[in-house]
Amino acid sequence: MPIMMLILSIVGGALWFWVRSNPRDAIHLAQDAATMIKNAPRKLAFRKQTNAHPVEGIDDPRIAICAIAQSFIELDKLPTQEQRQKLHVNLRAKLRCSEDEAEEMEVLGRWLMNQCKGADQAITRLGRRLYKIDGDTSWDTLQDILGGLVDGDLSQGQIDAITELKRAMNKK
């Protein structure tokens, strides 16, 4: 135990001496760590572009599908916990992603929806972006996920959203 304390003291002293003698390097190291944490969504193929809407930074169709699904369940009213759980299960099953990936995509999807100033505007913009990055190959997956979220009849807002998605993705 005393040897362990001696080693930790030496390492701590060396670190303190390095920070005192190289404050600029220490500050840059701390800024780099903060930047790495801030840029965590990039590992999900999301990149922020200067002077562009955040939706234009989506490169992964799975993120767009998740954000559309999040917007879809929030069209008429706030989603229930049951709806959120259904979305999570559908994302994991249909998009074949891990638990952590699904949670990260849900958080990013909600943020993107808020950046679009509402669910109805988000569906339009995200639908166009999805078509731009993936063509119409994601249409079946998107339909499966949205269909799994609906209990019974569609509301008028959801019908309008599907019509808008068809228009954005050039479907008849």
Q: What local confidence, expressed as pLDDT, does residue 51 receive?
A: 72
Q: What local confidence, expressed as pLDDT, does residue 127 receive?
A: 92
| Residue 60 resides in a domain | yes
| Residue 69 resides in a domain | yes
| Residue 9 resides in a domain | no
| Residue 108: count of CB within 10 angstroms of its CB | 21
Domain total for the chain? 1
Per-residue pLDDT in tens (0 to 9) along the chain, 172 residues = 889 888 988 988 877 877 788 888 777 777 777 777 666 655 555 555 567 788 888 888 999 999 999 999 888 777 788 888 998 999 999 988 888 888 888 888 888 998 888 888 999 999 999 999 988 888 889 888 988 888 777 888 888 988 988 888 877 6
| Residue 16 resides in a domain | no
What lies within 8 Å, CB to CB, of 55 at 6+ separation is 67, 112, 115, 116, 122, 125, 126, 129
Q: Domain of 145?
A: 54-168
Q: What share of the chain is helix, strand, coil (3-state, %, to 5)?
A: 75, 0, 25
| Residue 108 resides in a domain | yes
Q: What local confidence, expressed as pLDDT, does residue 68 receive?
A: 93
